[in-house]
Amino acid sequence: MGCSSSSPDTHHKEGSQRDFQFSYHPQPPKGLLLEKHTVDHVYDGDTLTIENRISVRFWGIDAPEISENEPYAKESRDYCRKLCPRGGTVLLGFSEKNERHDKYGRTLAYVYVSHPSKSGYICVNMALVEMGLARLYKLRRVKDENTNAMRDAQKKARREKRKIWKKVNEDNIVVITRNGEAFHRVGASCVVNASKVTVGEALDQLYAPCRTCKPLA
């Protein structure tokens, strides 16, 4: 069963401790290979460049597309820029369980920054998910050190109907395949031999919405 609905809380300041419930780390994250880099430019909510114009794709999340004018795309980008300003320092975290580059040659990483108001670190990937400004992506097959926290962060955003989840009806029926990564619209041509589940059930199993048939649109 998917997350139960509740009224969104719009009366708190973004970046509060409440927002960083899952993404806050009092110490540098353990179990990951960490590299220190300088931010060059944030393109959108899940992609930035570091020194030497190396492109970094945030591991495990998918933010709304600015090029497709998707809802909350600019807000996601701006929130990422707030946490990762040009010239700021980031720690890129790599798990030995995850791929290091995607098919476009972009570096895949968890991105960490210093907490804006106290000691410790924020996982930007997870913060975007907690805020409802990104969703989980390609986490079904690979379980790493952050998978459980990432899942819980998304459940929180869904439950509170934050941003991209505001209009999602988790009782709608979609289809999945056992070995797939995405859920699809019923009758979509991009999937065969599929089983019916609710949107909430698919999300609970870490399926992501298909980018082709866009079952949440």
pLDDT digits (tens, 9 = 90+) for 65-91: 999 999 999 999 999 999 999 999 999
- Only one residue has tokens 């179990």, namely 31
Structure-token pair, residue 113: 């920054």
Which residue has better confidence, 101 or 142?
101
90 contacts: CB under 8 Å, gap ≥ 6: 36, 37, 38, 39, 48, 50, 84, 111, 112, 113, 124
The amino acid occupying position 45 is G
- In this prediction, residue 14 carries a pLDDT of 55
pLDDT higher than threshold 60 for residue 4: no
Please give the model's pTM, rounded to 2 decimal places.
Answer: 0.89
The domain limits of the chain are: 24-167, 168-217
The mean per-residue pLDDT over the stretch 105-113 comes to 97
Chain mean pLDDT for the chain? 91
**What contacts 24+ positions apart, CB below 8 Å, involve 141-144?**
141/181, 142/97, 142/98, 143/97, 144/95, 144/97, 144/98
pLDDT digits (tens, 9 = 90+) for 8-55: 444 445 555 567 889 999 998 888 999 999 999 999 999 999 999 999
Q: Quick one: CATH architecture of 24-167?
A: Beta Barrel (2.40)
- In this prediction, residue 181 carries a pLDDT of 95
Name the 3-class secondary structure at 39. strand
- Reported as a pLDDT band with limits 50, 70 and 90, residue 7 is very low
pLDDT higher than threshold 80 for residue 217: yes
